[in-house]
Structure 1
Amino acid sequence: MLSAAAEAILVGQDERPCILVVEDEVLIRWMVSETMREFGYTVIEASTGDEALEIVEGGVRVDLVFSDVRMPGSTDGLALLAKIKLASPGLPVVITSGHCDPALAIAGGAAAFVRKPYEADVVAAVISAQLPKP
């Protein structure tokens, strides 16, 4: 089942750049999502890599993926990155982690890496560098 934001994008009712935030920690996902909404972006949230893949493969327009590495399910952040790079090579993916070596993510095709813990303004700056301002 798609969120209201995803449905609006799917039917062409929202032209703003869309960020898919993939994070299993609810408070972290909420903080990133709300910050990006305050900057004027449309945000879709996913709590697992598997859920994120369903959104991307389901035809929802996503302009950037911001994903944690360690998550429950069969698709972690690096596997999500690899699958997105195969299916949608032009889609920027920003990887975040407190455990992963940034070089691993960049070598896998990540547009950027943000080390946890991070501040919301750092995430906003990294994402804004990848997307046009709404």
Structure 2
Amino acid sequence: MEDEVLIRLHLAEELRDSGYNVIEAATGDEAITLLSSVDDIGLLLTDIRMPGNVDGIALANWTRSQFPSIKIVLISTEIRAGSPVEFDACFTKPVRFVELIQCVRKLLPETEQGHSHGR
């Protein structure tokens, strides 16, 4: 999930161009709805700060408790040590897309086309 629309669109495009299916959500609340209703999501990409009632940390905690097999990648300018949720990977902004794609491939090695949830 990404709170800046243009960055979110670019990330989604890069992931699609790399062969991944991407579902975008505008808020943490929308992401929870999508995660609850869409099968085969393998990865959640989120920022800490997002519009709505659910921030990225709360979304990641919820995702980890409900769907422990989903990989979680955090992208933010506010990465904090001792986060209350365990992420599979963290990136600071600005994101280097090559590094992000390499990370996604490492986290989803079982398929050529993973399912990525980006906002």
Over the aligned positions, Cα root-mean-square deviation in angstroms equals 1.4
Tell me which of 94, 99, 104 is aligned to 2:78. 99
Q: Which has the higher contact order (CA 8 A, sep 6+)?
A: 2
Provide the rounded CA distance (Å) in 2 between the counterparts of 1:59 and 1:100.
28
Provide the rounded CA distance (Å) in 1 between the counterparts of 2:97 and 2:38.
28
2:116 is aligned to: none
Provide the rounded CA distance (Å) in 2 between the counterparts of 1:95 and 1:103.
14
* Structure with the higher fraction of residues in helix conformation: 1
* Structure showing greater Rg: 1
Deviation at 1:113, TM superposition (A): 0.7
Mapped contact 2:75–2:95 kept (Cα < 8 A) = no
**Could you tell me the TM-score, scaled by structure 2's length?**
0.86
Deviation at 1:77, TM superposition (A): 0.4
Tell me which of 8, 24, 37 is aligned to 2:3. 24
Moved over 4 A (4+): none
Deviation at 1:102, TM superposition (A): 4.8
1:61 is aligned to: 40
1:45 is aligned to: 24
Report how many aligned residue pairs link the two structures.
111
**Structure 2 alignment gaps of length 5 or more:** 114-119
